[in-house]
């Protein structure tokens, strides 16, 4: 009964409707994601819509580029949308190559002002969504970039995506098409080739219930955050949350603390190897209040943690691109898939447990109290710097 109740409540609050008839496959790290993506691209017959924040010019980016060019050569309509900041190298080195191969390429907010904190500059395309022939979709946090990071070359960047089949393809495709049209209009390219996008007939594949959640600046400003908050508010047993850039606002913090007060077991898996040290230090300023309220904190040390996932009460799970920070939750274009399915949740939960066991270090209250005073001061300085940056950008982070 509890599963049905949460599903009914979330249906009224989340951007996506809960749809039955899906098969959602968890893909851990690029070593699982890229072979699945490349196989699907090579099998495409009608249309490929690929939208990403980073499209690197490394070996992985070149493999994806070659696969997209091959698809275009055999008559597949290939449409790529890349963020103007995350895709700077793509614009310089790969965009013309793909365009010459017959791929339609668009850039989201190409004009940038260096060092600007204006909120328009911070409105990035951060979602990672690919739809192929209206029958397969990939959604998650994995960019088009090599799986191994220079910060930790021995182990792959720790991240997730999902492969989606079934009725959820319809809202994913509609959202992807709408975003592409919006970017085309704003870049004065609204009559690109005059081709019609592929449609999709919502056919059941499997029996999972899932919802496609987006964050945009129109009707879905807070849908991802609200989905998290609603699931946390109704948690009874356990919350496991892994997030790369974790700087929650007051509502999110209070929701976690309220759940801890109810006796819910809460585990947070956060970055230990940082690719953005300022955000990591700012996050650490929040550690004392979580530790004092019985929330367990782990920092992942084997490589850069880039995941944005959660499992609640062993049946609700989400995988996507949205961090728990003001920039993701209030400015960026994001996309998550939420799933109500005990088997999927168990798979993700087991993967997170293995990551904690094999690659993370737990932080305890006494450990934090022994931190040098200069390190604690550095955390508080970073905390207020990030809050100031959010304030300048017009975001209320608290």
Catalytic residue among 155, 220, 308, 315: 308
From the list 201, 230, 199, 198, the residue with the least C-alpha distance to 213 is 230
Residue ranges of E strands in the chain: 19-28, 47-52, 77-83, 104-108, 128-132, 136-140, 148-149, 152-156, 160-166, 208-215, 238-243, 265-273, 296-304, 308-312, 316-320, 334-340, 360-363
Known catalytic residue: 313?
Answer: yes
Q: Token match 């608290």: residue?
A: 398
Beta bridge partners of 80: 50, 105
- Asked if 282 and 245 touch (Cβ cutoff 8 Å), the reply is no
Give the span between the Cα atoms of 336 and 322, in whole angstroms: 7
Give the span between the Cα atoms of 142 and 162, in whole angstroms: 10
Known catalytic residue: 147?
Answer: no
Give the span between the Cα atoms of 18 and 199, in whole angstroms: 20
Known catalytic residue: 396?
Answer: no
Known catalytic residue: 133?
Answer: yes
- Asked if 15 and 223 touch (Cβ cutoff 8 Å), the reply is yes
| Helices then strands, each counted (H, E), the chain | 15, 17
Catalytic residue among 313, 315, 325, 341: 313
The β-bridge relationship of strands 316-320 and 308-312 is: antiparallel
Catalytic residue among 83, 126, 220, 223: 126
Catalytic residue among 155, 220, 306, 315: 306
Q: Which burial class, exposed, middle or buried, applies to 378 when counting CB atoms under 10 A from its CB (0-12, 13-18, 19+)?
A: middle
CA distance from start to end of the chain: 34
Known catalytic residue: 126?
Answer: yes
Q: What are phi and psi of 239, to 5 degrees?
A: -125, 125
Give the span between the Cα atoms of 396 and 387, in whole angstroms: 8
Give the span between the Cα atoms of 70 and 42, in whole angstroms: 8
Catalytic residue among 83, 133, 147, 216: 133
- Look at the alpha carbons of 193, 196, 198, 202 in this order and tell me if their dihedral is positive or negative: positive
From the list 89, 121, 80, the residue with the least C-alpha distance to 332 is 121
- Asked if 198 and 60 touch (Cβ cutoff 8 Å), the reply is no
**Positions marked catalytic:** 126, 128, 133, 306, 308, 313
């Amino acid at each position: 009964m509890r599963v049905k109740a949460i599903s009914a409540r979330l249906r009224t609050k989340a951007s996506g409707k809960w749809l039955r008839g899906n098969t959602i496959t968890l893909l851990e790290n690029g070593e699982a994601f890229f072979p699945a993506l490349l196989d699907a691209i090579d099998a495409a017959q009608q249309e490929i819509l690929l939208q990403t924040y980073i499209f690197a010019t490394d070996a992985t980016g070149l493999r994806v580029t070659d696969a997209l060019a091959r698809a275009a050569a055999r008559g597949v309509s290939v449409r790529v949308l890349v963020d103007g900041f995350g895709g700077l190298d793509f614009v310089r080195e790969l965009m013309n190559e793909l365009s010459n191969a017959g791929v339609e390429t668009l850039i989201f907010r190409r004009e940038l002002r260096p060092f600007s904190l204006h909120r328009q500059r911070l409105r990035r395309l951060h979602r990672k969504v690919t739809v192929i022939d209206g029958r397969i979709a990939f959604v998650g946090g994995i960019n088009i970039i090599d799986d191994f990071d220079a910060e930790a070359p021995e182990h792959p960047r720790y991240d997730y995506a999902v492969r989606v089949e079934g009725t959820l393809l319809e809202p994913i495709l509609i959202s992807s098409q709408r975003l592409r049209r919006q970017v085309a209009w704003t870049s004065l390219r609204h009559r690109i080739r005059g081709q019609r996008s592929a449609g999709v007939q919502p056919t059941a594949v499997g029996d999972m219930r899932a919802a496609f959640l987006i964050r945009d600046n129109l009707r879905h400003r807070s849908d991802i955050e609200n989905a998290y908050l609603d699931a946390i508010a109704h948690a009874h047993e356990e919350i496991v949350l892994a997030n790369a850039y974790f700087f929650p606002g007051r509502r999110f913090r209070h929701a976690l603390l309220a759940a801890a007060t109810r006796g819910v077991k809460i585990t947070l898996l956060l970055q230990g190897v940082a690719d953005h040290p300022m955000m990591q230090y700012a996050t650490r300023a929040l550690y004392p209040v979580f530790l004092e309220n019985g929330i367990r904190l782990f920092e992942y040390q084997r490589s850069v943690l880039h995941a944005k996932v959660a499992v609640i009460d062993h049946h609700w799970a989400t995988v996507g691109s949205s961090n728990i920070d003001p920039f993701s939750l209030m400015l960026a274009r994001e996309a998550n898939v939420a799933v109500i399915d005990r088997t999927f949740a168990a798979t993700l939960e087991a993967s997170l447990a293995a990551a904690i066991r094999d690659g993370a270090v737990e932080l305890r209250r006494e450990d934090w109290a022994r931190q040098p005073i200069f390190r604690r001061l550095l955390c508080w300085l970073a905390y207020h710097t990030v809050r100031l940056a959010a304030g300048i950008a017009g975001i209320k982070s608290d």
